[in-house]
Structure 1
Amino acid sequence: MKKCRILSVMLSFTLVAALLTGCGSSNKSGDTVETSSKTDKAPVTLTFFTKDATEDMPFDDEVAKKITELTGVTLKITHPVAGDEQAIPLMIASGDYPDLIYGKGDTGKLVDAGAIIKLDDYIEKKGDKLKALYGDQLKRLKYSTEDPSIYTVGAYGVHTEIFDPSGVMQLQHAVLKELGYPEIKTLQDYEKAVKDYKAKYPEINGKKTIGMTLMASDWRWLITCGNISGAVAGIPDDGQFKIDDETKKATYKFQLPEVKEYFKWLNHMNAEGLLDSESFTQKEDAYRAKLAQGNVLGISDAKWDYDQSTKTLVGAGMDERTFAPLSVTVNDKCKDQSFKDYGYSGGHGIGVSSTSKNKDRAFEFLNWMASDEAQVLVNWGIEGKHYKVENGKRVMLPEVQKQRNSDKDFKKKTGIGQYIYPFPQRGDGAVDATGNSYSMNTLDIYVSNYNKGEKDTLAGYGKKSFVDFFPSSKDLGQQSKHGQAWQFNVPSDSDMAIIQKKADDYIQKSATQAVLGKEADFDGAWDKIQQDLNAMGIDKVNDGMSKLTEEKIKLWS
């Protein structure tokens, strides 16, 4: 699920106040918000649930300690165990909420249940740093046309450029080098590279060579399979839909013939013995350990999901066994949309719970996280300890940069990068008043820190960076008018939400079965999938998403 790319422009207080007048100003909890220029720094522990965390996050690293020193806040961070999708519904049923909640796709459920408060009054009276960070994009935090209030802040960068392509088809650098850096533009090109290399090297490091593997036994099916099916079909990232901005028509993407072609190709790869037989059953730890062995030639995953494996490979001196992101599509008629400009999508973020006894401190903390002081700290760490300012530029200390490149536990140990998402963030490409990037994710930093395998691949193709493999946002045309549909707030009790959940669960199961079936049976299996989707009422979902698209465009304009 991708990021947003609109430049954050600072508004005057008067303009922001006028903007917020139309956002609604009632606080759902009934609390009175007093204007104050002072920040309370007395020690306090705030409980914070984040749906996207997959492991414990003790708030005791170097950056966390500095945050506590500057704000008085210690976070007690919890997460859904084993990706439990019932965590928030159970929270709502109990009525027992943490101080701060990041519900992601369940944000609508939290709003419907009155679990999180409206933040409009807080932002107007005490949100100076949030106003500065969001600028004229603050309106995109509004919940809906019917309820144009702001319930959450954060999650994604207001200004975000892509300097490191992710969530695409990838191949080992060793494969590309061995084959003389061939053109890899289509699934057929990708398949040939995997097949030819595997035939030549049936074993790597004493282990059987695996052509391609997926992490598709749990919710990551969406990341390594479902999302990829749209990407290779040349469909912008709108979650489970393809949306036409002009007609405002939405289509459940698994109904589209170009998406079928991707799954048919996976079915063929499986029949050819090029797809890992454990792709749909292996667990997260096994998947990452497998990648770290160096015997997997191809993957289709987001970098945050396998970054630890990359660092393990680099630490073991196997740079050539890391992966090159490539612009691969179903055929040469499709255009890769990886660099599509979606603008800032608002959508999901962190809310303050209605039962919190520390509402003021919780909001003040979110406001502080939007400050320049916090943005530099969470991105770069502590000056003198992690970075220095040299000739007016922030520079990561060499030993810290080396650790960042090779230590899979770098974030845990230092805290650098640990508290960017899902908090308010300027985003990649945004610069401060000194001309320095808020984020360490800049093109120059990526280029200077490429490993040997990456450098060899780029030299082999005559390119400066992996950005150069993909169509630019300029080439892809105008910015999305609706943001990204996967961030829409869908009423949790609507027929649309219920049917889509049923369809999503069904697709994961049925598409997997079709991939693992006989090649001769695939077309019949896919036809059955279409019949079942129609029987579920998928047209109601398409109509509902089309209506939400229209409302979103109206809300923002």
Structure 2
Amino acid sequence: MKKRKLVSVILAVAVVAGTMVGCGSKDESSNSATPKKELDKSPITLTFFTADTTDDMPFTDDVAKEITKRTGVTLKITHPVGGDTQAIPLMIASGEYPDLIYAKGDTGKLIDAGALLKLNDYIDKQGDDLKKLYGDQLKRLKYSEKDPSIYTVGTYGVSSAPWDTSGTLQLQNGVLKELNYPQVKTLDDFEKALKDYKAKHPDKIGLSLMGSDWRWLITVGNTAGYVAGYPDDGQWIVDESTQTAKYKFTDPKLKDFFKWLNKLNDEKLLDPESFTQKYDQYIAKLSAGKVIGIADSTWDYGTATTSLVGAGKEDQTFAKLPVTLDANTKCPALKDYGFGGGWGIGVSANSKNKDRAFQFLNWMASDEAQVLINWGIQDKHYKMENGKRVVLPEVQKQKNTDKDFGKKTGVGQYVYPFPERGDGAKDSTGNYYTTNSPETYTANYNKAEKETLAAYKVKMWPDLFPTPKDLGGVSKHGQAYQYNIPSDSDLTVIQKKCDDYTQKAITQAILGKPADFDKAWDEIQSTLKSYNVDKANEEMSALVKEKMKLWN
């Protein structure tokens, strides 16, 4: 739900056949660490592959230059091209790797191929900053009960604070205002708001989804789980009391949400382009203020919000709402998952720059680096005022109105997927490591947001939602979508097949006739059974049990 948690997609890839070559043994990789010495600042270029961006990152912004000045390191950053999911398998097949690799859900493939360095010895001898950052959460970086080695660090904050949320569904603030701020807590409430507003403004688009690419999992699949009251475990529903998991598209509560979308489509309240539009078209609609409601995460549509604020169209920005199936379902938006530990950046086992690569990751965990990557450069991006770090007003204005702020300045650009303290953590001066705080959130709400919150008699968006305590406290299993799945498991292949099928079949059911929906859903369940989804449930349940034992 928060940006740091909201990338909840397992991008499973096809299994690459053939011989794996030239990877180096993972058993010998942890013995070369030398005792910690003074930071080597000699110039060096480290290659870094990140699976989670499609944008070029030239490492020439102000923060990048400062990182190079302080460490000697320049990053040459590469990424998949055009949504390619074969980058990691192709690396494994060739045996050629960058110095640093962020593989997301494909991390297990690299480990099984012996492509990643074991970091335990490095952390023990040279990793003071990493040990300080992770503290007692270091154990969550262990790969598995069978192999308790640490191969990666980073990805998401060690701490979190319930200061922001995307909610489950969103309506324009101006829509709520015109309707005299009705309570919008259930799907029926949301539907009524759509109907009432569209009746007055027939030229507007009702609910628009981004369902033509992988964002189907964000705006359709994930939303279905949230509306049903399930926390974010990707494609899974986890029951901690029984330590079991099941593929979420077999759950009848999710059927209710998809059936609701089917009804909206039949009543012309669903954008007819929801499953065909490209992302830039979707963002253009939102930026133009044409769409009444969405079902998205702020990190996905944030550029539209920034554009609207920059154009003085605050009323057309979106309110974050705790919409669920019914009044008895708790919205899980503020669930505290704890530190997941599953994904992170690894060092290539055959890198010629192992020591410098690890030294760089350790430095990125230092207080010095955490302040730099979050706040930028003192007196250029922030100032010290009565012992407190304060973002310069002109920088904050740029941050609120320029969608390319991060790319231009580098501020916040290198937080994810590197090691990060997270929201709520404070340094030795009593300042937060991140620029986020309750005060900064409330101060930077736009005019329309402030009016909406005041109308609902709350100060912040999270005030509308059940608290982390209401939702059962900290997750004991983390989040299932971050698990590194062994490459010899049937789980990856079965889930990939199920994911590809459900995206197409559920979309067809939503766009079909309401009289045919139940039959379509029954056929989906029958097909998932034939794909051996029960076997996948068993294997994911075993991973949940293992994770809970390893951590607790």
In 2, the alpha carbon distance for the partners of 1:414 and 1:454 equals: 26
Equivalent residues in 2 for 1:177-216 (5 A)? 177-203=177-203, 209-216=204-211
Query: Which residue pairs with 2:396 in the alignment?
Result: 401
Task: Quote how far apart the aligned CAs of 1:4 are.
Answer: 8.2
- The one-letter code matched in structure 1 to 2:62 is E
Contact 1:4/1:345 (<8 A) preserved: no
2:250 to 246, 255, 258: 255
**Does the CA contact (< 8 Å) of 2:26 and 2:116 recur in 1?**
no
Alignment counterpart, residue 369 of structure 1, candidates 364, 367, 386: 364
Matched, 1:153 2:153: yes
Give SS of 2:46's match: strand
Supply the distance in 1 between the matched residues of 2:58 and 2:314 (Cα, whole angstroms): 31
Aligned to 1:15: none
The unaligned stretches of length 5 or more in structure 2 are 6-24
Cα pair 2:509 2:517 within 8 Å, conserved: yes
Comparing 134-143 with 25-34, greater Cα deviation is found at 25-34
Which of residues 217, 222, 225 in structure 1 aligns to 2:217? 222
AA aligned to 1:358 is N
Q: CA deviation at 1:160?
A: 1.0
Aligned match of 2:143: 143
Describe the superposition over 1:458-500 as per-residue Cα deviations: whole angstroms up to 9, x where unpaired. Answer: 1111110101110000111232111111111111231121111
User: Are 1:67 and 2:67 counterparts?
Assistant: yes
1:498 aligns to 2:490 (yes or no): no
Q: Which letter maps to 2:193?
A: A
**Equivalent position of 2:58 in the other structure:** 58
Q: Is the 1:212–1:298 contact (alpha carbons within 8 Å) kept by the matching residues of 2?
A: yes
Greater shift in the superposed pair: 244-253 or 524-533:
244-253
Q: In structure 2, what is the equivalent of residue 46 of structure 1?
A: 46
Tell me the distance in 2 between the aligned counterparts of 1:158 and 1:467.
Answer: 20
TM-superposition CA deviations, 1:381-423 (whole Å, max 9, x none): 0000010010111100000000000001100111011000000
Deviation of 1:28 after TM superposition, in Å, equals 4.2
Does structure 1 conserve the Cα–Cα contact (< 8 Å) formed by 2:154 and 2:420? yes
Q: 2:481 aligns with which of 486, 498, 513?
A: 486
Q: How does 1:418-497 map to 2 (within 5 A)?
A: 418-497=413-492
Contact 2:26 2:115 (8 Å CA) reproduced: no
CA offset at residue 217 of structure 1? 1.0
- Measured in 2, the distance between the counterparts of 1:283 and 1:46 equals 34
Work out whether 1:94 is the aligned partner of 2:94. yes
* Runs of 5+ unmatched residues, structure 1: 6-24, 204-208
Deviation at 1:30, TM superposition (A): 6.4
Seen in structure 2, the aligned counterparts of structure 1 residues 137 and 147 have a Cα distance that, compared at 3 Å, is same
Distance 2:503 2:487 in 1: 21
| Matches of 2:166 and 2:99, distance apart in 1 | 33
Query: Is 2:210–2:274's contact at 8 Å kept on the other side of the alignment?
Result: yes
What amino acid does structure 2 have at the position aligned with 1:381? Answer: G
- Distance change in 2, residues 1:28/1:497 (3 Å): farther
Residue 274 of structure 1 deviates from its aligned partner by 1.1
Deviation at 1:440, TM superposition (A): 1.0
Task: Give, in whole Å, the separation in 2 of the partners of 1:114 and 1:277.
Answer: 47
Q: For residues 74-115 of structure 1, what are the alpha-carbon distances to aligned partners after superposition, in whole Å with 9 as ceiling and x for unaligned?
A: 111111112211111112111111111101111111111111
| Aligned-partner Cα distance in 2 for 1:385–1:59 | 18
* 1:545 has 2:545 as partner: no
Contact 1:168 1:327 in 2 (8 A): yes
CA distance in 2, matches of 1:250, 1:139: 23
Deviation at 1:167, TM superposition (A): 5.7
Q: How far does residue 262 in structure 1 lie from its aligned partner after superposition?
A: 0.7
Cα distance in 2 for residues equivalent to 1:229 and 1:194: 18
Deviating 4+ runs (over 2 angstroms): 1-5, 25-31
| Bigger shift: residues 131-140 or 302-311 | 302-311
Residue 63 of structure 2 aligns to a residue whose secondary structure is: helix
| Aligned-pair CA distance for 1:27 | 5.6
2: distance between equivalents of 1:281 and 1:345? 34
Task: Say which SS state the counterpart of residue 344 (structure 1) adopts.
Answer: coil
Deviations 1:310-366 (A, max 9, x none): 111011100010001100001112111111121111100000012211111111110
Q: 1:166-315, aligned counterparts within 5 Å? A: 166=166, 168-203=168-203, 209-315=204-310
Paired letter, 2:53: A
Residue 118 of structure 1: aligned partner: 118
In the alignment, which residue of structure 1 is the partner of 2:134? 134
Give the aligned partner of residue 360 of structure 1. Answer: 355
Q: Which moved more, 1:519-528 or 1:283-292?
A: 283-292
Contact 1:2/1:237, CA 8 A, preserved across alignment = no
Q: TM-score, normalised by structure 1?
A: 0.94
Larger mean Cα displacement after TM superposition, 473-482 or 60-69 = 473-482
Give distance in 2, aligned partners of 1:277 and 1:26.
51
Letter aligned with residue 315 of structure 1 = G
One-letter amino acid matched to 2:210: M
Question: Counterparts of 2:391 and 2:126 in 1: how far apart (Å)?
Answer: 33
For residue 31 of structure 1, report the CA deviation from its aligned partner. Answer: 5.7
Other structure's SS at 2:390 match: strand
| Kept in 1: contact 2:206–2:293 (CA 8 A) | yes
Deviations 1:405-447 (A, max 9, x none): 0001100111011000000000011111111110112121010
SS of the counterpart of 1:83? coil
C-alpha distance in 1 between matches for 2:58 and 2:271: 35
Deviations 1:196-239 (A, max 9, x none): 11110123xxxxx1111111111111111111110000001111
Aligned residues of 2:2 and 2:164 also touching (Cα < 8 A): no
Cα distance in 1 between the residues matched to 2:515 and 2:30? 63
Check conservation: 1:267, 1:515, Cα contact below 8 A.
yes
Q: Which residue of 2 aligns with 1:206?
A: none
Q: For residues 139 and 34 of structure 2, what CA distance do their matches in structure 1 show?
A: 23
Q: 2:384 aligns with which of 372, 385, 389?
A: 389
SS of equivalent to 1:547: helix
Instruction: Name the amino acid aligned to 1:175.
Output: V
Partner of 1:347: 342
TM-superposed deviation, 1:38:
1.0
Aligned partners of 1:167 and 1:224 also within 8 Å: no
Please provide the CA RMSD for this pair. Answer: 1.5
Supply the AA of the counterpart residue of 2:86: Q
How far did residue 37 of structure 1 move? 2.3
Name the SS of the counterpart of 1:182 in structure 2: coil
| Counterpart Cα distance in 2 of 1:254 and 1:542 | 12
Q: Do the aligned residues in 1 keep the contact of 2:331 with 2:465 (CA within 8 Å)?
A: yes
Aligned partners of 1:88, 1:54: CA distance in 2, in Å?
15
Partner of 2:272, secondary structure, is: coil
Question: Which amino acid is 2:223 matched to?
Answer: I
In structure 2, distance between residues paired with 1:424 and 1:262 = 36
| Distance (whole Å) between structure 1 residues aligned to residue 136 and residue 463 of structure 2 | 31
Give, in whole Å, the separation in 2 of the partners of 1:31 and 1:218. Answer: 43
